[in-house]
Structure 1
Amino acid sequence: MSKRKYREQDNLVKLIREEEQRYVKNVRPITPTQADYLSHIDNKNVTIVSGPAGTGKTYLACVRAVEGLKEQKFTRIIITRPALSATSENLGFLPGSLENKLDPFLRPCMQVFAERLGQQKVKKYLQEGVIEFVSFAHMRGRTFQNAFIIADEVQNVTPEGMKMLLTRIGFNSKMVLCGDVTQSDLPEGTKNGLADAIERFKGLERVGITEFEEEDVVRSEVVSDLLSCY
């Protein structure tokens, strides 16, 4: 390869990287409710968010987690969610290691982390425990210090499970609870822990509550149209 072509290729790579960096940095709220949500994450110890798919609940939480890690506000990111439907928390029935069992459920977070950090750094952080995926069934007995904790799909936990989860918060830690109160897989007659938490913690100074509506869906117009039919 000639020196000229090498320089042109090198400049192109630099331009692509600069464009990627601009893309990575420029995450701004699209709707007023998203702005409210991000404000709660930034300023509250616990943020509870409920709403339909496509409103950015998990995505924005993961973005803020990575930003907090980069800015050294936290030393770890912890991700958890009910790994199965609410009728069973036992991962033992699934084949493979715990990491393999959790992978399908946590892939949305992994995509955001790879987008913001790069695949190699994510792999390194996973090996070092900087990013840790913990099944909900294995949260009991853990306490997380200096951590940004994201709990997804928490409409599938009971109030007792929610209490257990919330007591995992250690010093200098922040927790975001994501879900959709209308999409619970809990058995009929079982109280929804997310809905219970929204009602229980309204007015608490250290808890922020955001409730997205269909008009906050930002994925595509077709998603909003389809949701309006249910």
Structure 2
Amino acid sequence: MNTGTLTEAILEFPDNRLLIDLCGEYDRNLTDIETRTGVQILRRGNFLAVHGTPEAQAEATEVLRALYERLEQGREVSRGEIDRQFRMGDDSGPDDQLEMFQGGKVEIKTRKKLIEPRTEAQKAYVRALFENEMAFGIGPAGTGKTYLAVAVGVNMLINGEVDKIILSRPAVEAGEKLGYLPGDMKEKVDPYMQPLYDALNDFLPGKQLAKMIEEKTVEIAPLAFMRGRTLSNAFVVLDEAQNATSMQMKMFLTRLGEGSRMVITGDRTQVDLPRGMPSGLADAERLLNAIPKISFNYFTSKDVVRHPLVAAIIEAYEKDAEQG
């Protein structure tokens, strides 16, 4: 920790209502910023006094100003947004790579919320999803691979760029157990598809999502159900792809039809296939990485956006694997 000279910076925030939102319930947003930077923040009316070393103070005041500006634009400030601000800073510089990201900001609009990448790797991944017909997102749990892919799919659906969303996973965990579970096939496999339903529920109102599922505008199905289909004008996501066999992966990738996009996400460290059976994700990396319009984006524990302990747990396991 820097033990240099402590100074005070005074920041004025004219709108008291927005200042309350900036501080958060029980000042928890200020507490988060204090914890991350080592400063002390005191509220005096419409002013915030930031005490700390010059370096820490500069970082804290930059974050506070950026978050207040966000509130002025009518956007919310959550703990996730504070995390994003520390990770990425001001990413509003000029960028003409994609016209849809005017002003350089990478944003995904859905029916329920606006999604913004929270790390540089996530930002590059979202760009790849919009730019490429086939994209791979590879890395540990909690890095937003599937969540961002589903968000982009919803964005493309509501903008008329695709006609349907198809989400799939290998039902490896089910395996022999499927026959012993009660209910029809949908009821048997739905527990394994739940993370995909959770993501969709974040982006689409419940009644609208239910109608889309009923009308097959949104499909959620095990990987085995993809055989024999040609998927045209669809946004297709294969989640947990490390649990697809080489034959299943080839089958899935060759379903790509006219006007469709495919996203394949997986974690190479969590293969649940029987011992000795190679992962189709590893084969796809090896065989496809030189083909134009197929992108590969990689995440590490530094990109984990769940609870901070998740990143620490992943790092501990990665370190143990390296030593072993």
Q: Is the 8 A contact 1:85 1:156 kept in 2?
A: no
Instruction: Tell me what 1:113 maps to.
Output: 200
Instruction: Tell me what 1:45 maps to.
Output: 133
Q: Is the 8 A contact 1:57 1:178 kept in 2?
A: yes
Amino acid at match of 1:82: P
Whole-angstrom distance in 1 between the partners of 2:193 and 2:110: 26
Match of 1:208 among 295, 300, 314: 295
Return the offset for 1:177: 0.6
Amino acid at match of 1:220: H
Find the residue that maps to 1:178 and give its secondary structure. strand
Question: Map of 1:214-229 to 2, 5 A cutoff?
Answer: 214-229=301-316
Whole-angstrom distance in 1 between the partners of 2:231 and 2:312: 40
Find the residue that maps to 1:162 and give its secondary structure. helix
Instruction: Tell me what 1:66 maps to.
Output: 154
Identity of aligned residues (%): 39
Whole-angstrom distance in 2 between the partners of 1:156 and 1:22: 29
* Structure-2 change in CA distance of 1:24 and 1:50 (3 Å): same
Unmatched 5+ stretches in structure 2? 1-73, 77-108, 318-324
Return the offset for 1:112: 2.2
Return the offset for 1:144: 1.1
TM-score (norm 1): 0.85
Return the offset for 1:115: 2.2
Whole-angstrom distance in 2 between the partners of 1:89 and 1:161: 18
Amino acid at match of 1:30: R
1:148 equivalenced with 2:211 (yes/no): no
Q: Summarize deviations over 1:68-97 as a string: whole Å, max 9, x none.
A: 1100001100011111338x3884443212
Whole-angstrom distance in 2 between the partners of 1:100 and 1:22: 28
Match of 1:124 among 206, 211, 224: 211
Q: Is the 8 A contact 1:202 1:209 kept in 2?
A: yes
Find the residue that maps to 2:167 and give its secondary structure. strand
* Structure-2 change in CA distance of 1:226 and 1:68 (3 Å): same
Whole-angstrom distance in 2 between the partners of 1:63 and 1:112: 8
TM-score (norm 2): 0.62
Whole-angstrom distance in 1 between the partners of 2:262 and 2:180: 29
Whole-angstrom distance in 2 between the partners of 1:119 and 1:137: 27
Q: Is the 8 A contact 1:51 1:179 kept in 2?
A: yes
Query: What is the total number of aligned residue pairs between the two structures?
Result: 212
1:164 equivalenced with 2:251 (yes/no): yes
1:134 equivalenced with 2:198 (yes/no): no
Whole-angstrom distance in 1 between the partners of 2:134 and 2:220: 19
* Structure-2 change in CA distance of 1:23 and 1:133 (3 Å): closer
Return the offset for 1:25: 4.1
Unmatched 5+ stretches in structure 1? 1-17
Find the residue that maps to 1:134 and give its secondary structure. strand
Once superposed, what is the RMSD of the aligned Cα atoms? 2.1
Q: Is the 8 A contact 1:89 1:137 kept in 2?
A: no
Instruction: Tell me what 1:8 maps to.
Output: none
1:185 equivalenced with 2:263 (yes/no): no
Instruction: Tell me what 2:121 maps to.
Output: 33
Whole-angstrom distance in 2 between the partners of 1:102 and 1:214: 30
Find the residue that maps to 1:182 and give its secondary structure. coil
Amino acid at match of 2:238: A
Q: Is the 8 A contact 2:172 2:243 kept in 1?
A: no
Whole-angstrom distance in 1 between the partners of 2:133 and 2:316: 36
Find the residue that maps to 2:255 and give its secondary structure. coil
* Structure-2 change in CA distance of 1:43 and 1:49 (3 Å): same
* Structure-2 change in CA distance of 1:89 and 1:129 (3 Å): farther
Whole-angstrom distance in 2 between the partners of 1:40 and 1:89: 37
More moved, 196-205 vs 62-71: 196-205
Find the residue that maps to 1:73 and give its secondary structure. coil
* Structure-2 change in CA distance of 1:26 and 1:133 (3 Å): closer
